[in-house]
Structure 1
Amino acid sequence: MNVGDRVRLMSGREEGIITRILDNNIVEVAIDNDFTIPVARREVVVIAPEEAKFLRNDAPQPAARKEPAAPVLATKGIYLALVHQSEELLAVTVVNNTDYDVLFTSGEDRNNIYRGLQNDKLAPKATRVITHYHLKDFEKWPSIVVQFLQHRNGAPSLFEPVTKKVQFKAASFYKSKKTAPILNKEAYLFQLDTKPTVVDTDKIKEQLAETAAPKDNYKLQAPEHEVDLHIEKLTEDYQGMSNSAMLKKQLEHFQDALDRAMASNMHEIVFIHGTGNGVLRKEIQKILSKTVGIKYFEDAKKEKFGYGATLVRLR
């Protein structure tokens, strides 16, 4: 049971078309192509094409008036085709009229809010219905967003992925009616692709090589055994700095020195923060208490630093 199948309700004679799979047990059905209702899967049965062909022609039918058909598009390409299921209901269909496999995703964009619809791999000369729309709701239709990538085993070229957004406007929509390739049915047709853009594989190889190559010109420099965090030691332009700005500068310098000490396998390091109001000391010790790889920390030698330095032992 798939989107686009014609079904009959088990509880009556109503028929409709499946327009959406809501979940594993519920489908949305357009009844008489006028209104949609959610129905349990067990309450509907798919109508076989043979039934429509052989069992629905008991009464003589008036001869249909022949109208000139629109020219079939001979050009290759990838299209979005809106095909009449009835006078009111349209099946929104992705058409792959190329010699390549097409990997695609599709979704709706309504007021810059995206909702995914379907994704699939389309073989060459294949189609896939992604959703259904009612003409009476035309003004409320969202934009359709299709992303796709063309591929073929043994192909000599690699193509760029493409994202195409189709916005429906009345002025252009009704002028887009043509015969859709593959389907060979009249449809509102929008081409999604242009000439495929070939990827420069040599450039990709160069980028990968640059990413994988070791940075020989960089050498980790271990910090001094004693790191002075007094603001006048870190910058000359501190007179106009706020207390919070100075604290941020000191903590950044502390973190950089600690990271380099751990990376260079130092056994210990001393941070000279002074006494002051104790804010810097508390912030440093708060960070040390949460850092993995710290064996312990304590006040450094009081005879040398007083209470203005912290000794950090590293693992």
Structure 2
Amino acid sequence: MNIGDRVRLLHGKENGIITRFLDNNLVEVAIDNDFTIPVMRREVIVISPEEDKNFGNAPVAPEPAKPRQTLLTPPVALVAGIYVGLVHQTPELLAIHVINNSEFDLLFTYGEETLNGYKAVNNDKLPPRKTKAVGHVHLNDFDKWPDLVVQYLQHKTSSNTLLEPVTRRLKFKAASFYKSKKMVPVLQKEGYLFQLDAKPNLVNPDQIQEQLQESSAGPANVKVPVPANEVDLHIEKLLPQEDHKLMTNSEVLRVQLAAFQDNLDRAVANNMQEIIFIHGTGNGVLKKEIQKLLSRNPSIKYYEDARKEKFGYGATKVQLK
């Protein structure tokens, strides 16, 4: 029994996909492309590929929107390396794959990091040109996704090259996530692709010594850019037309909320007193989601409709503590 296996509940008619192991006795199963439930291991049966094929139960891969196909990068254009690929299991459920598209063996660990800290999830050894599913995420929960943390070490018997261990963190933002759609190497499926290495990192003793000296000198001060006093969240202000004209309404909303959160965080970091978000009137969904986030933020003193004579009801003024 592995992550990504299609299973049937022993005491029910539902089928689903194993998304993670909760402990030695419990697994998490995604049911009907929609919700996940914890199930005892003894209560699920793995459905073999032969059974799916013979009885017509094989899951249908989501058909990508036809206009998007022209945006895919051909697999031959991808360089060898280590990748994380998110591939649709269903229209809403994405499988997270660690991909070894290199000539080296790959030892890796995979974990997830949230505000509550780091949680180790998976580890394995991948031969060259192999991949492994290590977790699952739902598009509906995009704003709640953890940071993905991959640590890896490449090895090749009889190689004269010493490669150093690498740690990479992936933090997803809607504005860039949807631009990462490519053909995933090894799997040869459409997905969202992120390369973890530009090229194998050679160990350089001099550079290591310099890094140690820099770290002993103390952390450098990092200045967070100050956002504008008025932030326009209309999608045409955030993305070029060729990027947003093919997006669905839900994808547009995710990009707008990501831009809102980024500017709000930078306003708080720079001790701004107030900031105005221009969201327009439309169907009111964006305004409602923004106010929902503001109501939960402890850094907010209050929020209200911005000047009606200038914005009508299409902007919200946020007063910061």
TM-score (norm 1): 0.59
1:9 aligns with 2:13: no
Shift of 1:193: 0.7
SS of 1:174 mapped into structure 2: helix
Q: Which residue of 2 aligns with 1:146?
A: 150
Separation in 1, partners of 2:146, 2:207: 38
Structure 1 runs of 4+ aligned residues shifted over 4 Å read 64-69, 200-204
Shift of 1:55: 1.1
Structure 1 counterpart of 2:95, which letter?
A: A
Q: Which residue of 1 aligns with 2:54?
A: 54
Q: 2:131 aligns with which of 124, 127, 130?
A: 127
Q: Which residue of 2 aligns with 1:83?
A: 87
Separation in 2, partners of 1:203, 1:162: 15
Q: CA offsets per residue over residues 167-207 of structure 1, 9 Å max, x none?
A: 10000001100010000000110000112122248999xxx
Structure 2 counterpart of 1:20, which letter?
A: R
1:23 aligns with 2:27: no
Shift of 1:163: 1.0
| Structure 1: gaps spanning 5 or more residues | 205-315
Q: Which residue of 1 aligns with 2:42?
A: 42
Shift of 1:92: 0.7
Structure 2 counterpart of 1:183, which letter?
A: L
- When residues 158 and 10 of structure 1 are mapped into structure 2, their CA distance, relative to the original with a 3 A threshold, is same
Separation in 2, partners of 1:51, 1:57: 8
- When residues 66 and 146 of structure 1 are mapped into structure 2, their CA distance, relative to the original with a 3 A threshold, is closer
SS of 1:53 mapped into structure 2: helix
Q: Which residue of 1 aligns with 2:236?
A: none
Structure 1 counterpart of 2:43, which letter?
A: E
Matching of residues 218-257 of structure 1 within 5 Å: none
Q: Which residue of 1 aligns with 2:103?
A: 99
SS of 1:175 mapped into structure 2: helix
- When residues 66 and 80 of structure 1 are mapped into structure 2, their CA distance, relative to the original with a 3 A threshold, is closer
Shift of 1:114: 1.1
1:169 aligns with 2:173: yes
Separation in 2, partners of 1:79, 1:65: 21
Structure 1 counterpart of 2:173, which letter?
A: K
SS of 1:136 mapped into structure 2: helix
Separation in 1, partners of 2:2, 2:35: 19
Shift of 1:105: 1.1
Larger radius of gyration: 1
Q: Which residue of 2 aligns with 1:191?
A: 195
Separation in 2, partners of 1:77, 1:112: 31
SS of 2:135 mapped into structure 1: strand
Separation in 2, partners of 1:65, 1:174: 13
SS of 1:120 mapped into structure 2: strand
| Count of matched residue pairs | 200
- When residues 165 and 19 of structure 1 are mapped into structure 2, their CA distance, relative to the original with a 3 A threshold, is same
Separation in 1, partners of 2:110, 2:57: 38
Q: CA offsets per residue over residues 207-241 of structure 1, 9 Å max, x none?
A: xxxxxxxxxxxxxxxxxxxxxxxxxxxxxxxxxxx
Separation in 2, partners of 1:37, 1:91: 17
Shift of 1:53: 1.4
Structure 2 counterpart of 1:126, which letter?
A: K
Structure 1 counterpart of 2:89, which letter?
A: Q
More helix by share: 2
SS of 1:27 mapped into structure 2: strand
Separation in 1, partners of 2:197, 2:85: 13
Separation in 2, partners of 1:202, 1:167: 31
Separation in 2, partners of 1:160, 1:108: 22
Separation in 1, partners of 2:138, 2:42: 25
* Identical amino acids, percent of aligned pairs: 58
Q: CA offsets per residue over residues 112-142 of structure 1, 9 Å max, x none?
A: 7111111111110111111100100000001
TM-score (norm 2): 0.58
Matching of residues 193-212 of structure 1 within 5 Å: 193-200=197-204
Separation in 1, partners of 2:64, 2:149: 37
Separation in 2, partners of 1:203, 1:66: 47
